[in-house]
Amino acid sequence: MRFDVVTLFPELFAPLLTSGITRRAFESAQVDVKLANPRDYGQGNYRRVDDRSFGGGPGMVMMADPLARCLDAVRAGRTDAAPVILFSPIGKPLTHTMVERFAVSLGAILVCGRYEGIDQRFIDAHVDEQISLGDFILSGGEIAAMALLDAVARLQPGVLGDEASHRQDSFNPALDGLLDCPHYTRPEDWCGKSVPEVLLSGHHAQIERWRRDQRLRLTALHRPDLILRARDAGRLTAQDEQVLNGLQRPSPTKADSDKTL
């Protein structure tokens, strides 16, 4: 697959593409990343790519023409009709399901905005999908693009040391979309805190049940929306529901209320 990244700061991507375990995907071109700079397509001696906003206001806006020229050059180098993705606050939040979709696709063209944003006419004419990392603002789309590329790269065959690793990740359908459980390693006792005995038992069925219970507990505590989603999808067993019911605090009685007076 191939991802073309349209960015004014291509140098920001060097550490991602050459560091860490996911570099295997980039070096082998399993995830082929090409960088294109709109400034190379700007007009004039300064190759301008931004200008003031019509109607006034602070900041600058990325111009449509350099972006369109850059996009044309990118498309000329591809043989497919790759979708154009813009990272934007109005986009859908990036999820594991979306990452999985990209991980088995032919790739995409990722547009990284800067400044106050991009001329809306470019967005209307060329952008197929908008994606957000969350309800906060970044200086540009580069970090969001790197997050997507990293998430896609680690799902490629042979990239992780253990092929089963990503199947145990939080949000993975293999875990029914739940959060992952706590993990422990050596030493067995650290600062007076011991590893849960069940993990030392060697009883695999009990270990898996403990891990499942922990996933349910953590998800119910921190992301109850994921519990509802798993329940609606029919992914929770009767035993899972018993575990969740045991986590619910009983409703206060009149006697309990009297004690608080």
Residue 211: band (very low, low, confident or very high) from pLDDT cuts 50, 70, 90: very high
Buried (b) or exposed (e) across 182-193, using 16+ Cβ within 10 A? Answer: eeeeeeeeeeee
Task: Tell me, yes or no, whether 179 and 77 share the same domain.
Answer: no
Task: Tell me, yes or no, whether 28 and 123 share the same domain.
Answer: yes
Task: Tell me, yes or no, whether 149 and 182 share the same domain.
Answer: no
Q: What are phi and psi of 43, to 5 degrees?
A: -100, 155
Task: Tell me, yes or no, whether 46 and 130 share the same domain.
Answer: yes
Is residue 161 assigned to a domain?
Answer: no
Residue 261: band (very low, low, confident or very high) from pLDDT cuts 50, 70, 90: very low
Cα gap 79→1, rounded to integer Å:
12
Is residue 199 assigned to a domain?
Answer: yes
Cα separations in angstroms, 201 against 204, 207, 208, 209, 217: 8, 8, 12, 13, 21
Residue 162: band (very low, low, confident or very high) from pLDDT cuts 50, 70, 90: low
Using one digit for the tens of pLDDT, what is the confidence trace for 69-110? 999 999 999 999 999 999 999 999 999 999 999 999 999 999
Using one digit for the tens of pLDDT, what is the confidence trace for 238-257? 999 999 999 965 444 545 44
Task: Tell me, yes or no, whether 149 and 214 share the same domain.
Answer: no
Active site (annotated) includes residue 154? yes
Per the prediction, the chain carries an average pLDDT of: 92
Among 2, 114, 154, 211, the active-site one is 154
Active site (annotated) includes residue 188? no
Active site (annotated) includes residue 116? yes
Is residue 24 assigned to a domain?
Answer: yes
Domain boundary residue, one of 153, 184, 219: 153
Task: Tell me, yes or no, whether 180 and 210 share the same domain.
Answer: yes
Per the structure, the complete domain to which residue 208 belongs is given by 175-247
Using one digit for the tens of pLDDT, what is the confidence trace for 122-160? 999 999 999 999 999 999 999 999 999 999 999 999 998
Flag whether pLDDT at 63 surpasses 50: yes
CATH of residue 22's domain is 3.40.1280.10
Is residue 233 assigned to a domain?
Answer: yes
Task: Tell me, yes or no, whether 181 and 143 share the same domain.
Answer: no
Determine what percent of the chain is predicted with pLDDT higher than 90.
87
Active site (annotated) includes residue 48? no
Using one digit for the tens of pLDDT, what is the confidence trace for 104-129? 999 999 999 999 999 999 999 999 99
Task: Tell me, yes or no, whether 143 and 179 share the same domain.
Answer: no
The strand ranges marked E within the chain are 2-6, 32-36, 50-52, 60-62, 84-93, 107-111, 129-132, 189-190, 193-194
pTM given for the model: 0.88
Helix spans in 20-95 (H): 23-27, 64-76
Position 251 scores a pLDDT of 44
What is the number of domains present in the chain?
Answer: 2
Among 65, 100, 116, 180, the active-site one is 116
Using one digit for the tens of pLDDT, what is the confidence trace for 184-207? 999 999 999 999 999 999 999 999
Task: Tell me, yes or no, whether 235 and 121 share the same domain.
Answer: no
Position 172 scores a pLDDT of 79
Among 89, 100, 229, 235, the active-site one is 89
Is residue 228 assigned to a domain?
Answer: yes
- Look at residues 225, 227, 205 and name the one whose alpha carbon lies nearest to residue 216: 227
Is residue 261 assigned to a domain?
Answer: no
- Contact call for residues 109 and 6 (beta carbons, < 8 A): yes
Using one digit for the tens of pLDDT, what is the confidence trace for 224-237? 999 999 999 999 99
Is residue 35 assigned to a domain?
Answer: yes
Task: Tell me, yes or no, whether 109 and 209 share the same domain.
Answer: no
Among 65, 100, 150, 169, the active-site one is 169
